[in-house]
């Protein structure tokens, strides 16, 4: 248990559906991240929020829409996804620690797009 | 820009044998380095991190890693493998860019432990 929870753990959706992934951190951190993990590819950083402000968007398609209402919660809204979007979506949070940010990860949401 | 290379996408060792997972990094500034472990259907868990305080870093579950600047390496080792060590291991490098830290992960190494 890392203090970062994600729901749902598994999600199957059609290409026309709209769904949301939720992440909550109980560590008092001020930064939160969304990553995409696909087979045989490095972790892909999607979005970064620092103090609720989006500080990075790595050219992610607009069918992925993040929302960070406060420093403890992070959402990823999904709509009109493609089969190639099937992957494990990981949320992480971090806090400065003697000048080093260590990221703590949630268990992930396994997404399958049909 | 920084990068991480993990040599060997799959490594097999016998139970009780030495575990050695290789990681080489590239960075134009002094980096912070991390090793994470991922068990099936779980997120990444921090094993250890290099913070420049000591070149030999000890982590959880008996793992350790040594930072070698001259070789730009941060290899992960464990003297004796256990069946429970079977997992995927990720090396990561972090550098400060524009006031915040950017983390780059390697492609991962799957460790198989043979009874």
| Residue B102 near residue B1, CB atoms below 8 Å | no
pLDDT tens for each residue of chain A, 114 residues long: 569 999 999 999 988 889 999 999 999 998 899 999 998 788 999 998 887 667 677 789 999 999 999 989 999 999 999 999 999 999 999 986 666 788 999 999 999 999
Interface residues of A toward B, Cβ cutoff 8 Å, are: 2, 4, 6, 31, 40-43, 45, 48, 50, 55, 90, 92, 94, 98, 100-108, 110
The pLDDT score that the predictor gives to residue B100 is 67
B31 touches chain A (CB under 8 A): no
On chain B, the residues whose CB falls within 8 A of the CB of A103 are: 46, 103
List, for residues B36-76, the tens digit of each pLDDT value.
Answer: 999 988 899 999 999 887 899 999 999 999 999 999 999 99
The pair of three-digit structure tokens given for residue B38, joined into one six-digit string: 């991922």
* Parallel/antiparallel/unpaired status of strands B32-38 and B3-7: unpaired
pLDDT of residue A89: 97
Q: What was the pLDDT predicted at A104?
A: 92
What is the spatial distance between Cα A27 and Cα A4, in angstroms, rounded to a whole number?
8
pLDDT of residue A65: 93
A44, A74, A100: best to mutate for the B interface, most B CBs within 10 A? A100
B 82-111: CB under 8 A from A: 90, 94, 100-101, 103-108
**Tokens found for residue B66:** 């040594």
What Rg value do the Cα atoms of chain B yield, rounded?
14
């Amino acid at each position: 248990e890392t203090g970062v929870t994600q729901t749902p753990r598994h999600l199957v959706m059609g290409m026309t559906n709209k769904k949301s992934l939720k992440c909550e951190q109980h560590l008092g951190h001020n930064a939160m991240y969304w990553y995409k993990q696909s087979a045989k590819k490095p972790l892909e950083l999607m979005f970064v929020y620092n103090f609720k402000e989006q500080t990075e968007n790595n050219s992610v398609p607009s069918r992925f829409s993040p929302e960070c209402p406060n420093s403890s919660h992070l959402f990823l809204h999904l709509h009109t996804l493609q089969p190639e979007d099937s992957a494990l979506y990981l949320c992480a949070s971090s806090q400065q620690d003697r000048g080093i940010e260590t990221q703590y990860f949630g268990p992930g949401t396994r997404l399958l797009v049909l | 820009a920084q990068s991480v290379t993990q040599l060997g996408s799959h490594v097999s060792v016998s139970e009780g044998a030495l575990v050695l997972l290789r990681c080489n990094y590239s960075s134009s500034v002094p980096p912070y380095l991390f090793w994470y472990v991922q068990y099936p259907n779980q997120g990444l868990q921090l094993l250890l991190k290099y913070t420049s305080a000591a070149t030999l870093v000890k982590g959880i579950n008996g793992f350790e890693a040594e930072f070698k600047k001259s070789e730009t390496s941060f290899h992960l080792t464990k003297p004796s493998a256990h069946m429970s060590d079977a997992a995927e291991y990720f090396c990561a490098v972090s550098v400060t860019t524009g006031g915040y830290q950017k983390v780059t992960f390697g492609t991962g190494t799957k460790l198989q432990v043979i009874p």
